[in-house]
Every structure is written in C-alpha cells, then in structure tokens.
C-alpha cells in the first residue's frame, strides 16, 4: 500500500510567491512512486482556484480536487449543521463569504437573525465588525472559526492571522472559541484522510511548519507528523513544545529521506 501526504502551503511549499527549494521535485517524486498528495491550508483570504493557479505557476502541477482550504471545511460544516432558513454572519473576506454562499447558505450582518458567527482572517477587521459579532453572540449565535493561526509567515517576518480575530472575540465574550474547522481540527483530518486520500491514518504524513496546527493534527489523528523548518518554527521551539513531531526536517526537499516502511 502506498502512502498519503498532506502538505501545508505557506512556509512549507512556498513563502509568498517563491517556492521552497526542492518542493516541486519532491512532489513529483512522490507521485511518480505512486503516493497520493493533497494540499491543505488554513488561509481563508484566497480561493482554492487561486492556490491551484499559484502552485501550477510554481511548477507544482495540481488540480482543484487536491487543494483544500479552511473555507471549504467551514462551509461543509455549516451545511451539515444548519437548517435551510438559517443564516450566518461572516467576519472575513470575499473568498470565505463566497465559499459559504456557494453551499447555499445565506450570509447576513444582522445580529438578531444569525445562527452562527464565522470568524476568518479579515484584513479590514475593526470595532464595528467585532461589535456586530458580539451582539450576535449575545443573541445566542454560535461562534466558529476557520483557523487558529496567530500569524502568517511572510518573507522577512510574519503578519497577524485569524488568531487575532479569535482573540478579540474571546476577549469580548469571555468564552473560548471551541469550534475551529481548519487545522488542527479532527474534522478536517477525518475528511481528508477518509474521503480524499482513502488510506489508514498511519499511512498518511502531515507535513507543515506549525507545531500547534500541522503537527498537532497529525499526532491527534494517528498520522505521521513531519515538521519543516522553513516557516514559523525553529529547532529551539521543538525542544519545548508539547506537540512533538515524529520527524523534523530542514525543508520539504528532505521528505524523501523518510523511510516510509517504518510506521511511527
């Protein structure tokens, strides 16, 4: 039986518009030996079509069915958990809103009529949006989020991500946002491992640059977790984290050095 690989994107396959050295060659080699490859990103400010185009431009040939983002995971969750007349409030950008609408779900800014508040990365986040979400929560709306990432890696540094929106909401409500649909959600892991890769979890490798999302999800779902040091995490962080990766590699180009006949 061949293996399945779930690759994070930012900080793992590329940084901004530049591919990590060896990423394209590694993906091609995995496919040539018969392994299954999918890509999973928590980033909610882009569409899957954008990621497909970007990866293809970077020399990594992909199709839409092998690229999953937190917007898709969030829309799937909402579709499965709301009624036909229920509405949701979205704190986020157009790609998230459009994905939710594409699943037949109505989006509203009225705090008195929504069943869910969805928090995504929003680069125009402000007090008015926070207040509307807070008022919806006071009226009984359930708060969920696309992803818990505090920052997004960029060349030369990091910028605030959806974790900042979650922090603001938690500060206002005094309650933790418990339902998060992107990594490290086990709902995301189950969907990708069982429905897309269709492999046992111990034959799958979760590859990413974040300990608290990529590595945690891999460990929690019984996958082989692989940390790469090209994004957020450095070796000193590995020594103190509770989320220990099974493998720590300098970059994605070292994936082929893993002996996949040894299950950890």
What does the DSSP 8-state code read for residue 213? Answer: I
Pick from 214, 216, 220, 183: nearest CA to 201: 220
Do residues 169 and 187 share a domain?
Answer: no
- Identify whether residues 168 and 129 lie together within a single domain: yes
Output the pTM of the full model: 0.90
Read off the tokens for 32. Answer: 């040539």
- Asked which of 180, 205, 240 is the last residue of a domain, the reply is 180
Query: What token pair was written down for 245?
Result: 């990766």
pLDDT of residue 155: 75
Q: Residue 261: its pLDDT value, please?
A: 65
Domain-ending residue, one of 180, 213, 240: 180
Domain assignment present for 197: yes
- Domain residues for the domain of 100 are 83-180
Alpha-carbon span 239 to 255, nearest angstrom: 21
Return the closest-CA partner of residue 55 out of 72, 70, 37, 71: 37
For residues 157 and 203, membership in a common domain is answered with no
CA–CA separation, 200 and 18 (whole Å): 33
Give the C-alpha separation, 124 to 5, whole Å: 34
Phi, psi of 129 (to 5 degrees): -65, -40
Distance, CA of 48 to CA of 231 (rounded, Å): 21
CATH code of 134's domain: 3.40.50.1000
Position 29 in a domain = yes
Total number of domains constituting the chain: 2
- pLDDT tens for the chain, 264 residues long, are 699 999 999 999 998 889 999 999 999 999 999 999 999 999 999 999 999 999 999 999 999 999 999 999 999 999 999 988 899 999 999 999 999 999 999 999 999 999 999 999 999 999 999 999 999 999 999 999 999 999 887 777 889 999 999 999 999 999 999 999 999 999 999 999 999 999 999 999 999 999 999 999 999 999 999 999 999 999 999 999 999 999 999 999 999 999 876 555
Nearest to 6 by CA among 231, 257, 196: 196
Q: Could you tell me which residues come within 8 angstroms of residue 179 by beta carbon, excluding any fewer than 6 positions away?
A: 77, 142, 143, 144, 145
User: What residue spans of 43-110 are helical by DSSP H?
Assistant: 48-57, 70-81, 94-102
- Shared-domain flag, residues 215 and 145: no
Q: Which of 130, 152, 180 is the last residue of a domain?
A: 180
Neighbours of 255 (CB within 10 A): 23
Two tokens at 206? 């979760």
222 and 170 housed in the same domain:
no
Report if residue 161 sits inside a domain: yes
Distance of CA 138 to the CA centre of its chain: 28
């Amino acid at each position: 039986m061949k293996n399945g690989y779930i690759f994070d994107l930012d900080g793992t396959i590329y940084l901004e518009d530049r591919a990590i050295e060896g990423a394209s060659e590694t993906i091609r080699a995995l496919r040539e030996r018969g392994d299954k490859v999918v890509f999973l990103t928590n980033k909610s400010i882009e569409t899957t079509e954008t990621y497909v185009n970007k990866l293809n431009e970077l020399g990594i040939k992909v199709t839409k069915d092998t690229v999953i983002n937190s917007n898709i995971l969030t829309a799937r969750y909402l579709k499965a958990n709301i009624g036909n007349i229920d509405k949701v409030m979205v704190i986020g950008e157009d790609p998230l809103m459009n994905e939710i609408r594409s699943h037949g779900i109505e989006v509203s800014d009225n705090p008195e009529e929504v069943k869910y508040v969805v928090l995504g990365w929003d680069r125009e986040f402000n007090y008015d949006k926070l207040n509307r979400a807070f008022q919806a929560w006071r009226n009984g709306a359930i708060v969920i989020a696309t992803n818990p990432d505090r920052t997004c890696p960029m060349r030369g540094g990091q910028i605030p991500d959806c974790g900042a929106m979650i922090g603001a909401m938690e500060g206002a409500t005094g309650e933790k946002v418990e339902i998060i649909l992107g990594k490290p959600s086990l709902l995301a892991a189950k969907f990708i491992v069982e429905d897309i890769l269709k492999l046992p979890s111990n034959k799958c490798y979760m590859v990413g640059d974040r300990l608290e999302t990529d590595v945690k999800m891999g460990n929690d779902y019984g996958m082989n977790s692989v940390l790469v040091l090209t994004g957020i995490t450095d070796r000193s962080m590995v020594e103190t984290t509770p989320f220990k990766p099974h493998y720590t590699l300098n970059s994605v180009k070292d994936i082929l050095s893993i002996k996949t006949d040894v299950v950890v």
